[in-house]
Structure 1
Amino acid sequence: MFTKYLKTSKPPTHPLFVWDGECGFCKYWIMVWQSNTKGLTYRTFQEVARDFPDIPLKEFKKASRLIEPDGSVFSGPDSAFRTFYYFHKPNKHWHKWYENSSIFQKLTDHGYNWMAKNRPLMMKITLAFWGKNPLRRKTYWLFWLTGAMSILIGMIYLLS
């Protein structure tokens, strides 16, 4: 689903996560990830696409990229899972699962693609569940879940 670029001929000196700077949903979650990672640089494709001529601009527009200093390029959900290596508490399981399970890879590729095509909706869901400040997320999803469960229990009670 995602064009896989195994290597770039002009690797960065530090790991680089490339994302769409015109996407509010992307910006929100990049701010979250930046606060949880170390040793990873974040730049928009609008800033750096010209530095990687072997990766077409249309591919940068389709999905995020993680470009390692050895030239390795990870795309879409693979790039997201690979960033977990740089979290304060690294987690390599997601990326390894993506690499080793074709079912997981297909599911996450389709999920990523759906979210990419529905970014305004995903932003609304993000704001409803976690609030406007990505650095001080609130657990609004807990209130939504509690409300939904209360309604469900009330309906069961009334129908019985």
Structure 2
Amino acid sequence: MIFDGDCDFCRFWIERWRRWAPAEMDFAPFQDESLRSRFPEITVERCERAVQLVGTDGRVLSGAEAVFQSVAATRWLGWLARAYRAIPLVAPTTERAYAFVASHRPAFSRINRCIWGTNPEPPRYERTTVCFIRAVALVFLVAFVSLWTQIHGLVGEQGILPAERFMTAVGPYFDQNGAGLGRYWRLPTLGWLAAGDGALHFYCLLGVIGSLAVLAGWFPAIGLFVCWLTYLSLTLLGQDFLSFQWDILLLETGFLACLVAPWSSRLKVSAGVRMFGGILLVRWLLFRLMLESGVVKLTSGDLTWRNLTALQFHFETQPLPTWLGWHAHHLPQWLLKSATVVMYGIELVVPLLIFAPRRLRLFAASVLALFQLAIMATGNYGFFNVLTLVLCLAL
């Protein structure tokens, strides 16, 4: 592959592509004097207009065709080369697009720097993986400790909704419906083994131990699985008390953390090598959480969200408003309406940047983080907002 070594845009993407290209593919700038003797038929003018790809058979391709052919041998992008050759209009359309970019390379170089930065090395996720795993473990620890102090009164043997009585009632129900072993799938909880006071305290203790082990860096995948399984069990045993959005979010985040965590005895930066698939799933979870938060307001049928007056009631009706929430409640109506518009922008538009290039993702992470901090400053939603901040680490 012969490219313009004086073009920032070309160098950036060649360096990116070099890391994924087949090992037998070589890259060289056309300014290299040795190329002129090796390929005298390739003129400087041709190289200034487009990249040139010299095949093993000596055939020379240029422009978009060269780009598509260069990915033909790769595992995941080979279909692009086939599409270029087989689908009508793909070739002429991509060639025109390539020519447009090539003729405006200085402008695209500036755009490229704004969006991707100047470092062509693809992002690595070792530190992100470690930070995310430990942060999830910390949220699990807070959740288990908080629940442990209340579980006796909520679902204990003398509690409001005794878990043991609940398990005793659902057993015959599954028997009558012929569920058999399917009961464990439909109600996946350790409560089938025991659900008395001692068992409930043991489950909380088990979750705390698992959380502390992961925080200490010991057996991260196993520790997170223990946390997830015990919290899933307690969520079902907790019935109405553990059926909130943050409980479900913690379970889903914990499950993804199990996929991201390395199956090693120690949690190290080098152990979390390129868990990109897991990171993508975490981003998808954050995308769904934020976007659906905005969509549900518009589709709820509540006129206060549509006429932008919801914040006039929100701060005094939310869980445990803070003193800042009191001041926010008394802000001018025009400012509260403006804040509602900003909120819609954050929940409906900013999530689209979650899958954008790195600098746009960092912008989205900053906006979402500030939004969560503002919510935390005016009301108490437990670990819900903290967990959302943890998801932002994947950006």
Aligned length, in residue pairs: 131
2:34 pairs with 1:34: no
1:24 and 2:11 matched: no
Cα deviation digits, residues 24-48 of structure 1 (max 9, x gap): 1000001101111122100111221
Q: What one-letter code is carried by the residue in structure 1 that aligns with 2:27?
A: Y
Matched, 1:124 2:110: yes
Distance in 2 separating the partners of 1:62 and 1:85: 22
Q: Match for 1:43 among 4, 25, 28?
A: 28
Output aligned runs, 1:9-158, within 5 Å: 17-37=1-21, 38-47=23-32, 48-87=35-74, 89-137=75-123, 139-142=358-361
State the one-letter code of the partner of 2:63.
Answer: G
TM-score (norm 2): 0.31
Q: CA deviation at 1:101?
A: 3.0
Q: Is the CA contact 1:49–1:60 (under 8 Å) kept in the aligned structure 2? A: no
Q: Which has the larger radius of gyration?
A: 2
- CA drift at 1:20: 0.7
- SS of residue paired to 1:66: strand
Q: Cα offset for 1:62? A: 1.1
- The letter for the 1-side match of 2:25 is L
* Larger helix percent: 2
For 1:113-145, what per-residue CA distance to the aligned partner results, in whole angstroms no more than 9, with x for missing partners? Answer: 111011111111111111221104561233567
**Cα deviation, residue 72, structure 1:** 1.9
Aligned equivalents of 1:86, 1:99: Cα separation in 2: 15
Q: Which runs of 5+ in 2 are unaligned?
A: 124-356, 367-395
Q: Measure how far apart 1:73 and its partner are.
A: 1.6
Q: Give the secondary structure class of the aligned counterpart of 1:98.
A: helix
Aligned match of 1:150: none
Q: Which moved more, 1:71-80 or 1:47-56?
A: 47-56
Q: Give secondary structure in 2 for the equivalent of 1:74.
A: strand
Deviations 1:26-83 (A, max 9, x none): 0000110111112210011122134212233321221111111111222101111111
Name the SS of the counterpart of 2:28 in structure 1.
strand
Please say which of residues 19-28 and 46-55 is displaced more in the overlay: 46-55
Q: Percent identity?
A: 25
Contact 2:72 2:80 in 1 (8 A): no
2 CA distance for matches of 1:40 and 1:141? 31
**Distance in structure 2 (CA, Å) of the matches to 1:126 and 1:134:** 10
Q: Is this contact kept in 2: 1:63–1:76, CA < 8 A?
A: yes
Aligned-CA RMSD value: 2.4
Q: Which has the higher strand share?
A: 1
Report if the CA contact (8 A) 1:25-1:122 is conserved.
Answer: yes
User: RCO (CA 8 Å, sep 6+): is it higher in 1 or 2?
Assistant: 1
Query: Offset of 1:100 from its aligned partner?
Result: 2.2
Alpha carbons 1:39, 1:86 under 8 Å: kept: no
User: Quick check: 1:129–1:140 contact (8 Å CA) kept in 2?
Assistant: yes
TM-score by length of 1: 0.71
CA contact 2:16–2:121 (8 Å) conserved in 1: yes
Deviates more, 1:54-63 or 1:65-74: 54-63
CA distance in 1, matches of 2:68, 2:55: 14
- How much has 1:106 moved relative to structure 2? 1.3
List runs of 5+ in structure 1 lacking aligned partners: 1-16, 148-160
